[in-house]
Amino acid sequence: MIPYADLKPQHDALREELRQAIDQVLDSRQFILGKFVSEFENGFVSYSGARHAIAVNSGTSALHLALLAAGVEPGDEVITVPFTFAATVAAVHYCSATPVLVDINPRTFSLDVAQFEAAITPRTKAVMPVHLYGQIADGMEEICAIAKRHGIAVIEDAAQAHGAEFQGRRAGAIGDLGCFSFYPTKNMGACGEGGLVTTNDDALAERVRLLRDWGQDRKYHHAVRGFNYRMEGIQGAVLSVKLKYVEQWTEARRALAARYDALLDGVPGVTRPAVLPDSRHVYHTYTVRVAERDRVQQELTAAGIGTAIHYPIPLHLQPAYADPRWPQGSLPQSEAAANQVLSLPIYAEMDPANVEVVSRALADSVREFADRP
């Protein structure tokens, strides 16, 4: 059996360190925000290169607060993609704003820059490129330049992109605001829920800080209508431990991806992940494209190989997010990708020998189909 991912080896290896960190929280009883969360925020400032890091209770909360801090109000428009996890679009609805969906670039699965520019209206307040699979969205420079010209905020959905870089700048330090998730299966995961907002702007940081803690500028004085989106002390302490290892884990993921790349190079019918120049891909997923994806996935499952699909249904075709402006067929690249993407096993502690087993099984499955009359 080769699992798609496995959280056990990481937590076994860190068991003692995590226990000590959690014990410190128990001793201090700083359960909500407090010094362990502040320490983690400081660590994430160094890690991301952004001026500010504000820890919250999930990646979804991070997106919601980033949109509010950017001034998104009911009726405003926010441009993003349907080929992402539901949270990206849900956060726009949380603001009673309107998501405006544009298609993806089929090579990198990120926002199509020309379509983004064409979708801007006087009501557009923000654009949310998603650094899907662990690579900075294609064309971030142009996205930021276009947004600046139109006075639109750029909010990076960096939930899958801890430590990803473009031209030496890290995820979360490129746009106006960056949103991270520490959901346990992300490249850096809490022992529970967690998220964080980064920004280089002092005023935006202040607004996010206010909003995450009931809008209180001092105790029991509510300056704005805020939320209970505070990070827990235990998660802050756990994440400070994990922050020490994330680079090592990222390099392990990159080495596994390089092995997949070498083994799948030239295999007909398998499209490997495109890596952009000047980009550091952190391989939250190693996602290939194949025709007959469902059959290939079934065959790998039968061979004892776990895989995943990110994501099987684009958001404009989900019952909860359907909108008459985007019927079936209206966002064809997203729809095609949803039918063809397949994420192969990858996690820092994965045995590199298993990359060979998976690659061979994938090549066999795809070839078998191509050989059929």
Ligand X SMILES: *Cc1c(COP(=O)(O)O)cnc(C)c1O
> Residues in the site for ligand X, rule: CB under 6 A?
58-60, 84-85, 87-88, 130, 157, 159-160, 181, 183, 195
Minimal distance in Å, beta carbon 28 to ligand X? 25
Q: Two tokens at 196?
A: 């964080």
DSSP string, 126-150: EE--B-GGGSPPTTHHHHHHHHHHH
Question: Crossing angle for the helix pair 246-264 and 352-371, nearest 10 degrees?
Answer: 30
Residue 50, CA distances (Å) to 43, 190, 243 in order: 11, 21, 15
CB of 58 to ligand X, least distance (A): 4
First CA to last CA distance, the chain: 32
* 132 or 317: CB nearest ligand X: 132
Q: Distance between CA atoms of 239 and 18, rounded to whole angstroms?
A: 9
Question: Among residues 195 and 226, whose Cβ is nearest to ligand X?
Answer: 195
- Neighbouring CB atoms inside 10 A of 373's CB total 2
- Please report how the helices 59-69 and 86-94 are oriented relative to each other, as an axis angle in degrees rounded to 10: 40
* Nearer to ligand X among residue 84 and residue 307 (C-beta): 84
d(CA 156, CA 172): 6
Nearer to ligand X, 109 or 259 (CB): 109
Selection from 249, 230, 274 nearest residue 104 by Cα:
274
* Pick 88 or 98: Cβ nearer ligand X: 88
CB of 292 to ligand X, least distance (A): 26
Please, are residues 90 and 78 in contact by the beta-carbon 8 Å criterion? no
Question: Do residues 157 and 135 touch, judged by C-beta distance below 8 A?
Answer: no
Choice between 91 and 267, CB closer to ligand X: 91
Which phi and psi (to 5°) does residue 299 adopt?
-65, -40
Give least dist CB 174 to ligand X, A: 16
Question: Which of residues 160 and 198 has its CB atom nearest to ligand X in the complex?
Answer: 160
By Cβ distance, which residue is nearest to ligand X? Answer: 59
